[in-house]
Amino acid sequence: MSKKGTHVSETPATQMLRKAGVEFTEHPYDYVDHGGTAESSRQLGVDEHAVVKTLVMQDDKAEPLIVLMHGDCTVSLKELARQIPCKKVEPCRPEVAQRHSGYMVGGTSPFGLRKAMPVYVEATILALPRICINGGRRGYLVGIEPKVLTELLGARPVHCANAA
């Protein structure tokens, strides 16, 4: 059962959204280790394609970056590296991702990051009417219009999705 009526305290992500005047809906759910977007979409009754995961990656110089991807897709690392451009991109280890973002893995939001990082968004996400994305804590998504990703974060559209 999801905790739909539960009050959720502020996070750096929701503080950033409120400060910017972004309207968002709150979607708490029961976090399940390794459940991923399949679990959150199931509990919330949302299409997994519209649940966006926030991935902390690094380039060939070990510089961190954020990739926003559909919940039901994976990132083509070769294609992403080609478009950025750099020699290679790889996921950060969980402890490194946490240090860069300030969020626990499983609760990473692209909003309110500890450290400024470039943000890349799978271009097809921007065509969706609405998305759910992590609100800065495990078991908590926020619903926003996709244009917020480019307008507030300056996210650069890329084409790097692989069907999962």
109 touches 134 (CB < 8 A): yes
Q: How far is CA 111 from the centre of its chain?
A: 9
Low-confidence ranges of the chain (pLDDT < 70): 1-7
Beta bridge partners of 51: 132
Range list of β-strands (E), the chain: 25-28, 51-59, 64-70, 73-75, 89-91, 119-122, 131-137, 140-144, 156-158, 161-163
Query: So what's the pLDDT on residue 82?
Result: 96
Burial of 95 (0-12, 13-18, 19+ CB in 10 A): exposed
What is the per-residue pLDDT across 65-98, written as a single tens digit (0 to 9) for each? 999 999 999 999 999 999 999 999 999 999 999 9
* pTM of the complete model: 0.94
Sign, CA torsion 123/161/148/89 = negative
Query: So what's the pLDDT on residue 13?
Result: 97
Q: What distances in angstroms separate CA 84 from CA 1, 10, 17, 109, 139, one per listed residue? A: 41, 33, 27, 21, 31
Which residue has 């995961």 as its token pair? 53
Query: So what's the pLDDT on residue 9?
Result: 82
Query: So what's the pLDDT on residue 3?
Result: 43
A 10 A CB-CB count for 22 gives 16
Query: So what's the pLDDT on residue 6?
Result: 54
